Amino acid sequence: MPPIRKSKEIFREQVRWSSNELIGILDFLDNNFEMWRTNRVNASTKAIEATNNKRDARSVYNKIHVLIKSMEVYHKTGEKSNTGTVIWSNKRIQELVENIYIKTKEKSEENQEIEVDDNNSDASTIRTEMDDEPAPYSTEAINKLYSEKLIQLSQTRSTVMKTIEETNNTFEVSKVNLLLYSKEAAIDIFDKKIEEITKLRDELSYIINDINNKYEQMKNFR
């Protein structure tokens, strides 16, 4: 009986990203940020073509999105997320991810400016690039919720780690013969939680981007 061959998609997901591979993709997206900001899936496809990468657009999109969100958590909490370990081990990758994160943040802030109508002090409108015809679905709400959840997890983990340390110190000082709590076990639990919510966010974002792409195709159909 012939061996069962794994699909190309499964194989690609199992191959670890190299630093040079990531730098090539990130460098392209940093230099073509407007393309990334406008359509992330399309930008991922273009990055693949430009760097002769063998992965698919979804894999590239997911990887870059996780790195950017890890950088966001770092900027907001000072915590270096374990989902973005490669960022902290390679200076060039860190620079590129930070560049893209800062550009994304600046654009987001620009698009959320509030303009008050001088003729009506009670009326205000939030100006965005999509005011004329907003996309039917948006990843903004998902990303906002995702960031909030990461911050919550980070804060909870810090509290749990501090509690474990204090409890273990009390046991040692009191010479109580009880099993000490493991920091490593707690870290594993939180790492799994982050992986789960990141996977859910990425799946939702990919689906929404795909829907919006098809919406654009239908809108531009002649």
Name the token pair of 9: 């998609």
CA distance linking residue 157 with residue 78, whole number of Å: 13
Q: Over the stretch 103-157, which tens digit does the pLDDT of each residue have?
A: 988 887 776 553 333 344 333 333 333 333 334 356 677 777 887 888 888 888 8
49-63, 114-128, 170-184, 208-222 — most confident range: 49-63
The pLDDT of residue 150: 82
Name the token pair of 117: 């109508």
The pLDDT of residue 23: 94
Residue 59 reports pLDDT greater than 70: yes
Band of residue 2 on the pLDDT scale cut at 50, 70, 90: very low
Q: Over the stretch 71-81, which tens digit does the pLDDT of each residue have?
A: 988 888 888 87
The pLDDT of residue 138: 63
Residue 69 reports pLDDT greater than 80: yes
The pLDDT of residue 181: 66
The residue written with tokens 């996780």 in the block is: 66
The pLDDT of residue 91: 93
Q: Over the stretch 83-97, which tens digit does the pLDDT of each residue have?
A: 778 899 999 999 999
The pLDDT of residue 10: 39
CA distance from start to end of the chain = 51
The pLDDT of residue 92: 94
Q: What is the mean pLDDT of the chain?
A: 76
Q: Over the stretch 155-179, which tens digit does the pLDDT of each residue have?
A: 888 888 888 888 878 777 777 665 5
Domain assignments of the chain as residue spans, ordered by start: 8-219
Name the token pair of 58: 């979804």
pTM: 0.50
The pLDDT of residue 176: 63
The letter for the amino acid at 92 is R
The pLDDT of residue 7: 41
- Listing DSSP states for the chain in one string gives -PPPPPPHHHHHHHSPPPHHHHHHHHHHHHHTHHHHHH-HHHHHHHHHHHHT--S-HHHHHHHHHHHHHHHHHHHHH----GGGHHHHH-HHHHHHHHHHHHHHHHHHHHHT-EEE-TT-TT-EEE--TTSSS--SS-SHHHHHHHHHHHHHHHHHHHHHHHHHHHHHHHHHHHT---PPPPHHHHHHHHHHHHHHHHHHHHHHHHHHHHHHHHHHHHHT--
